[in-house]
Amino acid sequence: MTASAWNPNNGLVPTVDSKNTIIPEYQLATAGQRTFNLKNFAYAVNSGALAVFKNGKILTKNKDYIEATNTQVLLTAGAYDKDELYFVGFVAISSTATVDAQLRADLQGAAGATVVFAGNDSVGAVLDTIQLVNYAALRAYNGGRQKVSITGYMAAATPSGTVGTFVVDPSDNVSADNNGTIIVDALGRRWKRQYNGVADVRWFLEGVTHTVGLQAAVNAEAVVIVPTSVTLNSDTISLQSNKKLIVDGTVKRIANAASDSYLFVNAGGAAGNYNIRIMGDGVLDGNSANQGASDRQGLIKFQAPSDCVVNIRQAGGNKYTSPNATTTGQGCIVYTDAIRSHITVRFLNLWQREGILIDGASKHCSIRDVTALGDGQNSWSATSISGVNAAYNKILNINAENCGATSVVLDSTYSQADQIISLNNQFNNGVNFGHTGKPATKSKGSNITVINAGQGATSGSTHCGVQVGGGTTDFELSNVTVDGAYNHCIQISDGSSKVQLKGANRLTGALHGCGINVFGADKTRISGVVAYSNSDYGVNLNASNDCFVSDCDLRGNTIAGFSATGSRCAIVGTPCSDDPIAISVNLVASGALAAGGTVTVANGNINGFYSKINVLCRDSAGQAAGPIISSRGTGTLTLQVTNALSSVGAPHNVSLEII
């Protein structure tokens, strides 16, 4: 009986050798799989035209497998996960019984090496992996092997990053060659890289630029890694949703990149994307030294991102020159109109324009765990969440040094800034809450330290340690330390109201201002402040009404501890002079002081806002010597004697205790 021939799916006529023409098919089993459907060929059932191998060993028909149909084989026992099955079809068999037995004997013995597939690969060899040097060699391959190892070795060279194992997928005839994990050969077969789900960017770099390779990698794979030893020089890369790029090496901007561009952008543009992640222990470098003199560039800009994360060890070095009003909302890493998206840069260095900016109507976003070192001029704010309708955002654990502008900005309602350190920012405020049209209403700032704010300022500038403004209302500030601000340590102004400062606050060394200057900000509440060594007042309530100061220590300021020009303001439990406020006035140093006589005590620490003034008149024996009536005015206290005081005997002194 003569076996019928079968037609390969690819339509090619197999080579006929001196024995038999053989067509192979490789399949990778899943756990428990018993049924295997052939795609490359059909065979005549029970004609001896089929041989089946599992993991390199030939199986026995009707014992190990059953020929169910001319395209289907059933294993009698289920396979294990990733068992390798080879189905070998024989053409031109003339006698089933005789030839089948002989072929099986040949395959099991040394003669098996002489039985060949189309492409001159033996039956024994087809079960082995062939080694090819690169993708070009694999694309040209037309042999019968089912596995290929790309060695990456070129003459006198070390292996390239393309090293790996590829296996034919006979079920796929549509996937495109992506130059990394899928290669299409001369016969149209799809060779697929075997890997654990994390794609190495080096796999995609054969014969192309870093930009093309990195873009191909993130297009093809859900997770791509730039390994520690790798530095890529790339132009703009567009990221789709559900992509994760792990940067453990360095991604550096190409020299002379286009102005007004970024290294990474979201593919959807203003329409937005979701679940994009750029993470790792590596570096994103803007390569500013090799950009054009007037370029404006950044590292990351995601528009309308949701559930996106940047968490990278180091970023910076972007070029951004000639900043002006037309280039607002630009910087090193920028989110606009973001939802539930977050940014962490463990070391942000030498950025230009804004460092990390989340703007627009962003909600439920955060910037956290950032140490920033600026260049003192072109490096504007290190971290900023600022936008009309921005809300429910957080800036946490920021340490910023040598910023050219305000170190940390929070212009967002129902938001929080906590654990903030600003050191030596050159211009504007150390930390700012609220700008015009972008208030920080119902937000909180806590655990803030600002040292030497506004050190690059010139005479007349208002550069403070902490500023609350922009019409912010119902704002809470606590546990603030400011030292050496150019102007005021803290300023609350610009129509703000219902601002509370509480906790433990130390405000000292304002070079040209007060510990706290409240200007046009009604209903301010201040407590728990120690303010000293400031060049103006400890606390100055300027054109601010219904304000209240309590439980502070305002001693040791140049002009005075306290001043107020608004209405309905009060100060309670707050010492304001350098020493305990006790003044001894001799009413009868010479001669008698008749009833109704007056003495005026002048002292800058006396004003109309102290909650308690005790006036005691005693004789030399310490006995009361008559009641005293007092009237208070800013800087003076007038004492009027009710009963005449005689000059006879020891002088009568008035002790003033002001609390």
pLDDT interval class at 640 (50, 70, 90): low
Mean pLDDT of the 612-628 span: 51
Mean pLDDT of the region 601-614: 47
According to the model, what pLDDT value does residue 612 have? 42
Residue 10 has pLDDT above 60, yes or no: no
Q: What is the pLDDT of residue 35?
A: 93
Cα dist from 144 to 15, 119, 167, whole Å: 11, 6, 12
Q: What is the DSSP annotation of 407-430? A: SEEEEEET-EEEEEEEE---SS-S
More confident residue, 24 or 222: 222
Q: Please tell me the predicted confidence (pLDDT) of residue 155.
A: 42
Identify the pLDDT of residue 637. 58
Find how far residue 259's CA is from the centre of its chain.
24
Select the more confidently predicted residue: 589 or 139: 139
Inform me whether the pLDDT recorded for 648 exceeds 50. no
For residue 5, pLDDT over 90 is answered with no
Query: Cβ(253)–Cβ(284) under 8 Å?
Result: no
Give pLDDT, residue 231.
96
CATH number, domain 364-570, options 1.20.120, 1.10.1660, 2.160.20, 3.40.50: 2.160.20
pLDDT single digits (tens) 57-87: 888 888 899 999 988 999 988 888 888 888 8
**Residue 59, SS3 per DSSP:** coil
Mean pLDDT of the chain: 82
How big is the CA angle at 197 (ends 192 and 198), to the nearest 5 degrees? 110
Higher pLDDT among residues 542 and 619, named by residue: 542
- Mean pLDDT to the nearest integer, 132-158: 79
Q: Which residue has the higher pLDDT, 638 or 176?
A: 176
pLDDT band with cut points at 50, 70 and 90 for residue 482: very high
Say what the pLDDT of residue 55 is: 83
Q: What is the pTM of this model?
A: 0.75
pLDDT band for 599, please (50, 70, 90 cuts). Answer: low
Query: What's the one-letter identity of residue 374?
Result: G
pLDDT in tens, 515-535: 999 999 999 999 999 999 999
Q: Domain map of the chain by residue range?
A: 21-126, 129-193, 233-359, 364-570, 582-658
87 versus 1: the higher-pLDDT residue is 87
- Give me the pLDDT at residue 118, please: 41
- Cα–Cα distance, 252 to 362 (Å, whole number): 28
Percent of the chain residues topping a pLDDT of 70:
76
Taking residues 319-341, report their average pLDDT: 80
Query: Which range (444-448, 455-459, 482-486, 596-600) has the least confidence?
Result: 596-600
CA distance 86 to 29: 11
Tens digit of each residue's pLDDT (9 = 90 or more) over 152-166: 755 444 557 889 999
